[in-house]
Amino acid sequence: MSFIGSSALSSLLVFAFIGIFFVAIGFFVVIPIIIGVALKGSLKKVAAIPTFDEYSRANPHLVNNGRVSCVKCNGSSIFLQRVATMPTSIISHHVCRTCGTALYRSTN
């Protein structure tokens, strides 16, 4: 004697399969799309900061004898801020300690 009829059992299996199917779509399709969009946005922000060569060409009066000054406040105390870690490199911003302006980026 079974508690669930065969038609109820087959309906239950169909609903279970549909549920698993949509969970799989969410896991293998939707979540990677969300992660990709988030990474693309953060990489655009990283790329918006000029490289050292671009910074020195745009502001030659602020780069003298290996010393870099801030374009915003003319401060010369610069620190390194790691912003992204890639499999083969580390991307850092060189930031003015006085006003917090990101001056240029570098890759190690």
- Using the CB atoms, write b or e for 60-95: b if 16+ within 10 Å: eebbeeeebbbbeeebeebeeeebbeeeeeebbbbb
Q: How confident is the model at residue 61, as a pLDDT?
A: 94
What predicted TM-score, i.e. pTM, was given to this entire model? 0.61
71 shares a domain with 37? no
71 shares a domain with 40? no
Class of residue 98 by CB neighbours under 10 A (exposed 0-12, middle 13-18, buried 19+): middle
Please, which pLDDT band fits residue 19 given cuts at 50, 70 and 90? confident
56 shares a domain with 38? no
**What is the domain count for the chain?**
2
Q: Which of 48, 63, 87 is the last residue of a domain?
A: 48
78 shares a domain with 37? no
Contacts of 108 (CB under 8 A, 6+ apart): 89, 90, 92
Class of residue 46 by CB neighbours under 10 A (exposed 0-12, middle 13-18, buried 19+): middle
Q: 49-105 pLDDT, tens per residue? A: 999 999 999 999 999 988 999 999 999 999 999 887 777 888 899 999 999 999 999
73 shares a domain with 94? yes
Please, which pLDDT band fits residue 3 given cuts at 50, 70 and 90? low
Please, which pLDDT band fits residue 1 given cuts at 50, 70 and 90? very low
Structural domain for 4, as ranges: 1-48
